[in-house]
Structure 1
Amino acid sequence: MMRIDAHQHFWQLAARAGSWPPPSLGAIHRDFAPADLAPLLAAHGIAGTVLVQSLPTAVDTDYLLALAEQNSFIRAVVGWADLLAPDAPATIARLASHGKLKGLRPMLQDIEDDQWIANPELAPALGAMVEHGLRLDALVLPRHLPALLHCARAYPLLPIVIDHAAKPPIADAAFGAWREDMAQLAALPNVHCKLSGLVTEARPGWTVGDLRPYAAHVLDMFGPRRVIWGSDWPVVDLAGGYPAWLAASEALLAHLGQEDRDDIFGRNACRFYGFE
């Protein structure tokens, strides 16, 4: 089975000008580079990754693309662009010309307006993403899901993946509107969901049992062909680390057949992001 980690990050603190992560998050308040991740990939049989932006700047996206050119295990990059800028379509066309740039991620969880992704002024940019075959990574919290649903319905040809299952309230052992909103999004064939980031939403000392109801709902709604596994490394180091999350993921998916597990752990990422 070829495994793909469909959600990981690299960053340099000196380039972030005080942006997240803060010094209080000591486990991840340092630089993270390909040499830090490579041993984990080798130890766990991960053949490649999708490198995802974590800073909303064009400079950061260029940095990630340069890393992708230098490191063959990076199979795809999800970058950032100002989707409301007048020149957004031209910027998107330029970025899409890079062979490994496969998607864009507006950092919706940090935008004050919960309805931002439903703004009709995004039409030129989202249309350009469709035209150039890019995907939308949706970094959302549960409160953003109704607007994301509006966007997904308006752009049925735009492939969308919900990062971290929209960060459900696992620490509170609650569901709220998350369960129904995710079901509505899952009814749309252009929407996928990443099985990632759950442990950082759980309470300290989490167990697989804490995660299971949320993972089960994602699997029930999206099915094994539209769920994509990712580590969210190095953020996962805040809640147990790469090996613990991978082991938990294997336990959460153990009831599935081998073909379904192979899809979730690798093939779905290849299909969604469009790489071999």
Structure 2
Amino acid sequence: MTIDSHQHFWKYEPIKHEWIDDSMSVIRRDFLPSDLIEVYKANGIDGCVAVQADQTLVETDFLLDLAKENAFIKGVVGWADLRSENIDALLEEYHSNQKLKGWRHIVQGEADHNFLLRPDFLRGISYLEKYDYAYDILIFPHQLGATLEFVKQFPHQKFVIDHIAKPCIKDGFFEGWAVLMKEIAKHENVSCKISGMITEADFDSWKPTEITPYMDLVLSAFGADRLMFGSDWPVCLVAGNYGDVKGLVTDFISGLSENEQKAIMGDNALKFYNL
């Protein structure tokens, strides 16, 4: 199966979605399964993982309802306040829903560079393994140092770095990001989504050749068995269409073995999220 490991749905609300700034005005509208299913038919995608874009339990329930109604949504990565004193009980409550596969916090939006290392957050993360939940790490490059210390503390927890940690492709920044990504990749419980890249380049003029060094690095560091294709639809639409995003990855991995290509384009996501 070909699985998109990372996409979003929302009913657009200007205040709730204030992160969609003027440069991204093309996605200031609703995006629902009826929009995506046609895109998937056109691009040969069999299913997806829907990932939270809003930090509320209402968002988690919204995605789970969509997954219940749409079989192609194979799994959901929701949000819960992992800092909550009652987090264990909450995780247990959601555990009966088999489409709920993991959790994410929008760490990239936290002013504290060391947010991941806060004691209350670490406590919340410590309960995830008990329920076989994955955790998606959404960060900017300046948070990679804290991320390295973070993953060291949970050697058996399934982690995946979203969007190759959002390197500043547009500005050509590479070395500092690369050094820390290689260190993080030494922890075999950490995977990486090869996603969200064209929106870190120049929206209007990006070229595959600019992005290839970043893909080379994560392939070398994580290997084909720990990379997952993701579109980041509909966010990707500010810099291209779905075919552009898929083609960027499939062209890049075309020289790998058939099994390695299948792993990146679906098998790894199936295994990681227990889809």
Taking the TM superposition and a 5 Å limit, the aligned residue runs for 1:11-90 are 11-14=10-13, 17-22=16-21, 24-90=23-89
2: CA distance, partners of 1:53 / 1:97: 19
Q: Percent identity?
A: 38
Give the equivalent residue in structure 2 for 1:236: 236
The AA in structure 1 aligned to 2:240 is G
Once the two structures are TM-superposed, the CA of residue 24 in structure 1 deviates from its matched residue by 5.0
CA distance in structure 2 between the partners assigned to 1:27 and 1:94 by the alignment? 37
Q: Distance in 1 between matches of 2:122 and 2:173?
A: 35
Task: State the Cα deviation string for residues 47-106 of structure 1 (Å, max 9, x = none).
Answer: 100000000111111101100100000000000010111111111221222101000001
Contact 2:141–2:166 under 8 Å retained in 1: yes
Using the size of structure 2 for normalisation, the TM-score is 0.96
* 1:3-57 alpha-carbon deviations (Å, 9 max, x no partner): 0000000001148535332455221000000000001111111110000000011
Asked if 2 retains the 8 angstrom alpha-carbon contact of 1:208 and 1:251, the reply is no
> In the alignment, what sits opposite 1:127?
126
Moved over 6 A (4+): none
1:193-238 CA distance string (max 9 Å, x none): 0000000001231111011000000000000000000000000101
**CA–CA distance in structure 1, aligned partners of residues 36 and 61 of structure 2:** 20
Aligned-residue Cα RMSD (Å) equals 1.3
TM-score calculated relative to the size of structure 1: 0.96
Counterpart mapping for 1:180-259 below 5 A: 180-203=179-202, 204-259=204-259
Task: Tell me how far 1:122 sits from its aligned partner.
Answer: 2.3
In structure 2, the CA distance between the partners of 1:32 and 1:129, relative to structure 1 (3 Å rule), is: same
Counterpart in 1 of 2:104? 105
Q: What SS does the corresponding residue of 2:74 show, helix, strand or coil? A: strand
CA drift at 1:264: 0.0
Aligned length: 274
State the distance in 1 between where 2:186 and 2:16 align: 41
Contact 1:103–1:137 under 8 Å retained in 2: yes
**Bigger CA drift: 120-129 or 95-104?**
120-129
**Unmatched segments (≥5 aa) in structure 2:** none
Equivalent residue letter for 1:123: L
**Aligned-partner residue type, residue 262 of structure 1:** K
